[in-house]
Amino acid sequence: MKKIVFSLVILTALAACSHSGKHPEASGEKSQLRVIKIKGSETIRPFIEQAIVKYEQSHPNIIIDYTGGGSNLGLMALKQNEADVIFTSKSFNEDDLEGMPQGKSLQTEILAYDALCVIVSIKNPINEISRAQLSDIYSGAVKNWKELGGQDAPIQVYSRDISSGSYSFFKDRVLLNENYSSTDINLVHNEEIVNNVRDKVNAIGYVGLGNVNAEVKSLKLKKEGEGEFTAPNLVNVKGNSYLLSRELSCMYFLESDMAVKDFITYLKSAEAKEIVQEVGFLNK
């Protein structure tokens, strides 16, 4: 009976070591796992998920816990000390940043450039759209594609959820802070919007550059009062001639420990920059 009890104790200890996928060193020294909590932008998910895998491979005592949720939720988490690092696809003003923990200094690092792409079905004959026309669609003033030179069909409108930085960014740049239409369908993930637009010929949506694939079509956009329609490509995004060019950033406190700072340093490394390019974002 004593042998059985002893075996159970050993099995329990081994299970505790293997639960997280991290193991003590072969020398027998006990490893101290450090969990870095990250929240924020869903747009940057294609980059951050790959970066986490690479980083954890070379840092066996670090676990990166990334839950996404949107830029605005990330900022709230930072204020409430529920995140070590957040990612954002929008800029925050002074009012947004009120309520940060006392005695802490906020630091922002630009990691990449992105474009919010307006997408439609590849079967949709529309190839370009002005800011005013796009605003009319998302405010509900225009409800049928024929009003824009397309087919006689109702427009099905998709956007990100209200906690998303993309939602706020689009509202600011396209709607000029007017309200979205009550018929707008809010979705949490970029992939959901891509899938709906792909499958519904009369749909329109917007997603990050890294989420666009060959199954949907990105529309060329035109800034107010400018003659040329521009596509979301490297030249136009970096030159800021594309209407919905933006920065992808991370935010953290300067008082963070070395584990957090080392991870931030990695996000700016040559290896991380390669991931940025692989997933379709643009390096700074």
Does 102 have pLDDT greater than 50?
Answer: yes
pLDDT for the residue 6: 37
Examine residue 99 and state whether it is found in any structural domain, yes or no.
Answer: yes
Calpha distance 102→34 (Å, rounded): 24
Domain co-membership, 209 together with 127 = yes
- 6, with CB counted inside 10 A (0-12, 13-18, 19+), is exposed
Domain co-membership, 222 together with 273 = no
Q: What is the largest CA-CA distance in the chain?
A: 85
Measure Cα distances from 183 to 19, 155, 189 in Å: 45, 10, 18
Examine residue 201 and state whether it is found in any structural domain, yes or no.
Answer: yes
Examine residue 18 and state whether it is found in any structural domain, yes or no.
Answer: no
pLDDT for the residue 252: 97
Lowest mean pLDDT among 30-39, 58-67, 99-108, 208-217: 30-39
Q: How is residue 268 written in tokens?
A: 């700016």
Q: What is the pLDDT of residues 121-161, one digit of tens each?
A: 999 999 999 999 999 999 999 999 999 999 999 999 999 99
Contact (Cβ atoms closer than 8 angstroms) between residue 209 and residue 187: no
Examine residue 253 and state whether it is found in any structural domain, yes or no.
Answer: yes
Domain co-membership, 138 together with 236 = yes
Domain co-membership, 122 together with 241 = yes
- 264, with CB counted inside 10 A (0-12, 13-18, 19+), is middle
Distance of CA 78 to the CA centre of its chain: 16
SS3 assignment for the chain: CHHHHHHHHHHHHHHHHHCCCCCCCCCCCCCCCEEEEEEECCCCHHHHHHHHHHHHHHCCCEEEEEEEECHHHHHHHHHCCCCCEEEECCCCCCCCCCCCCCCCCEEEEEEEEEEEEEEEECCCCCCEEEHHHHHHHHHCCCCEHHHHCCCCCECEEEEECCCCHHHHHHHHHCCCCCCCCCCCEEECCHHHHHHHHHHCCCEEEEEEHHHCCCCEEECEEECCCCCCCECCCHHHHHCCCCCCEEEEEEEEECCCCHHHHHHHHHHCCHHHHHHHHHCCCECC
Task: Domain of residue 129: give its range.
Answer: 114-245
pLDDT for the residue 220: 96
pLDDT for the residue 9: 39
Lowest mean pLDDT among 20-24, 38-42, 216-220, 269-273: 20-24
Domain co-membership, 101 together with 143 = no
Q: What is the pLDDT of residues 198-254, one digit of tens each?
A: 999 999 999 988 889 999 999 999 887 666 899 998 888 888 889 999 999 999 999
Domain co-membership, 162 together with 183 = yes
**Rounded-to-10 torsion of CA 249, 224, 122, 45:** 10
Examine residue 213 and state whether it is found in any structural domain, yes or no.
Answer: yes
Examine residue 26 and state whether it is found in any structural domain, yes or no.
Answer: no
pLDDT for the residue 28: 42
pLDDT for the residue 181: 96
pTM: 0.77
Domain co-membership, 123 together with 202 = yes
Distance of CA 252 to the CA centre of its chain: 16
Domain co-membership, 222 together with 130 = yes
Q: What is the pLDDT of residues 60-89, one digit of tens each?
A: 999 999 998 899 999 999 999 999 999 999
Does 30 have pLDDT greater than 50?
Answer: no
Confidence bin at 284 (pLDDT 50/70/90): confident
**Rounded-to-10 torsion of CA 149, 152, 155, 156:** -140
* 90 or 197, higher pLDDT: 197
Domain co-membership, 99 together with 130 = no
Q: What is the count of structural domains for the chain?
A: 2
Does 5 have pLDDT greater than 90?
Answer: no
Q: Which residue has the tokens 């003033």?
A: 141
Lowest mean pLDDT among 92-101, 176-185, 227-236, 244-253: 227-236
* 185 or 211, higher pLDDT: 185
Average pLDDT (182-190) is: 93
Calpha distance 232→203 (Å, rounded): 19
Domain co-membership, 261 together with 224 = no
* 122 or 10, higher pLDDT: 122
pLDDT for the residue 112: 92
Confidence bin at 31 (pLDDT 50/70/90): low
Helix axes 165-173, 71-79, angle to 10 degrees: 120
Q: How is residue 22 written in tokens?
A: 């991290």
Domain co-membership, 144 together with 238 = yes
Adjacent-strand bridge partners of 64: 36
pLDDT for the residue 234: 80
Q: How is residue 241 written in tokens?
A: 């001639």
Q: What is the CATH number for 58?
A: 3.40.190.10
Calpha distance 8→1 (Å, rounded): 11
Examine residue 103 and state whether it is found in any structural domain, yes or no.
Answer: yes
Domain co-membership, 118 together with 216 = yes
Confidence bin at 276 (pLDDT 50/70/90): very high
Examine residue 15 and state whether it is found in any structural domain, yes or no.
Answer: no
